[in-house]
Amino acid sequence: MLGDLPLLPGERALAWAQDGQRQWYVGTDRALLLPEDGSWRRIGWERVERAEWDRDSGALVVVETAEFGTLEPTHRLRMNDPNRLLELVRERVTASVVVRRFVAVEGRRGITVVGRRAPHSDGALGWSFVVDSGLDERSPAVQAAAERALAQARAEIGV
């Protein structure tokens, strides 16, 4: 199984789990690899917005980052014995975050900008935005908050 993985030069598989259909889910030092149509979908750790264990369904829910104003791709992974992979996902996603800045729009609701760095990268950051439920990302107030949050985050880390 591990010999068929589309690993990049120097990339290492660190944890894996199998589902009831005998498909493998693999975490490497650089990405999460998901089975997809007989091949693999590669999600770099810097492209994972969040991941959480859903106890009710017994699934690891992985949400990818998306362009501002578009839907975030979500994957529900039902695996047997996901513990090692779940720990790796949490650690790698957290490690990719360089800066996080929240700006309020209406009361306690607002927008969060997150700057992430890919493992083994040249240091360039990818930026994502999380708009709290009930806010319209197309509204001028949310757009202005997104610009403020990004400017504050960039100033905080000097870019």
Question: pLDDT tens, 143-158?
Answer: 999 999 999 999 998 8
Give the pLDDT of residue 2: 56
pLDDT bucket at 10, cuts 50 / 70 / 90: very high
- Domains belonging to the chain, first-starting first, are 10-96 (2.30.29.30), 97-157 (no CATH)
Counting residues of the chain whose pLDDT is more than 70, the rounded percentage is 98
Q: What value does the mean pLDDT of the chain take? A: 90
What average pLDDT does this structure show over 127-144? 92
The length of the chain is 159
Q: Where are the alpha helices (DSSP H) in the chain?
A: 83-96, 140-157
How distant, in Å, are the alpha carbons of 22, 26, 142, 157 from that of 82?
13, 10, 37, 35
